[in-house]
Chains A and B, each alone.
Chain A
Amino acid sequence: MTGRVEDRREEWEGPVPVPTGATVPFWAGTLEGELRYQECECGHRQLYPRAVCTACGAEDPPFEASEGVGTIYTYTVCHVPGEPGFGDRVPYVVGAIDLAEGPRLLTLLDADPDDLEIGTAVGVTFWQVSEKAAIPVFVPE
């Protein structure tokens, strides 16, 4: 499954990811609406992307495409912006999403907090914030 990629370059005032090293394939995927995680030969799956497998230490574990669906492990509603650029977006929701493939991703949830609870099924969309990156944002399914 690929998620919708919305062009938010004009209005986005938050931090902009800079793809480097192990994160390059991840951010390349986001521009195509694909959420990628790493699956090592040892079977371990991880996200965010890293240069080594956190289970066995193997270098450059290969990327796989996630289905982009999961459930809310937990979430919080931010009324005080944590970063410059988030000020005009409060209240906004940050959640930890358990992906169907296993890894847990800390991410923005674009939803009315009243529509969310722990366990809510969510799917990924992307907000393109630069030429090189679109940030994953989850919405209720």
Chain B
Amino acid sequence: MLVSEEKAAELGVPEIAVAGVASTSTHRQDISEMPDMTTTGAAVTGPKAFDQAGITHDDVDVAEIYDSFTYTALVTLEDLGFCEKGEGGEFVSGGTTAPGGELPMNTQGGGLSYCHPGHFGVFVLIEAARQLRGDYEGDRQVADAEVAVAHGTGGLLSSSSTVVLRRES
């Protein structure tokens, strides 16, 4: 539920602020139209949303990143700047993005392991918000998560949106 700060206070629910948002699209409806198959719009939306939220990568406690395919997850991590271009595979190996890792990622299992009904973007937002509210018990919950990044990709790898969420109370 998206409400004003006043309404959130009135309801007495945990306040999760939308701290930064950016969206872009890079091409039309065909993969062959992608200007560069190793870069997505996340390279544009990531820096903008981070700037708006006033955060750096070190501030991010949990990442929920759209993963239609393994490639999508890796290229998006690179484009968002969590690692260098071409180093996404290395970045996720060794448990960096596992529960308890440096950057727990796709804590609901992601589209690859949980479900991908189409419009998966809403699931990355829901999971990011629930992590910040501390809804879970056990390994799934990232302890004391304050800043979450949710990233959605749509069209045919042609539309990108990054949302930075921050727990305020």
* A96 and chain B: residue at smallest CB distance: B32
Is B30 close to A, CB under 8 A? Answer: yes
Q: Let me know if B28 and A106 touch, CB within 8 A.
A: no
Residues from chain B with Cβ under 8 Å of A96 in the complex: 31-32, 37
Mark out the residues of chain B between 113 and 150 whose CB falls within 8 Å of any chain A CB in the assembled complex.
none
Residues from chain B with Cβ under 8 Å of A105 in the complex: 32
Q: Let me know if B28 and A54 touch, CB within 8 A.
A: yes
Is A104 close to B, CB under 8 A? Answer: yes
Residues from chain A with Cβ under 8 Å of B59 in the complex: none
Q: Let me know if B30 and A48 touch, CB within 8 A.
A: yes
Query: How far is A48 from B33 in the complex, measured between Cα atoms in Å?
Result: 9
* B37 and chain A: residue at smallest CB distance: A74
Residues from chain B with Cβ under 8 Å of A73 in the complex: 37
Given A74-B37, A96-B37, CB of A104 within 8 Å of CB of B28: no
Mark out the residues of chain B between 18 and 63 whose CB falls within 8 Å of any chain A CB in the assembled complex.
28, 30-33, 37
Residues from chain A with Cβ under 8 Å of B28 in the complex: 54
Q: Which of A74, A104, A105 has the most CB of B within 10 A?
A: A104
Q: Let me know if B30 and A106 touch, CB within 8 A.
A: yes
CB distance from A95 to the nearest CB of B (A): 10
* B31 and chain A: residue at smallest CB distance: A106
Which positions in A face B, CB cutoff 8 Å? 48, 54, 73-74, 96, 104-106
**A/B interface sample: 9 pairs, CB < 8 A:** A48-B30, A54-B28, A96-B31, A96-B32, A96-B37, A104-B32, A104-B33, A106-B31, A106-B32
Which positions in B face A, CB cutoff 8 Å? 28, 30-33, 37
Q: 3 closest A-B pairs (Cβ-Cβ)? A: A106-B32, A104-B32, A96-B32
10 more A-B residue pairs beyond the given contacts A54-B28, A104-B32, A105-B32, with a C-beta to C-beta distance below 8 A: A48-B30, A73-B37, A74-B37, A96-B31, A96-B32, A96-B37, A104-B33, A106-B30, A106-B31, A106-B32
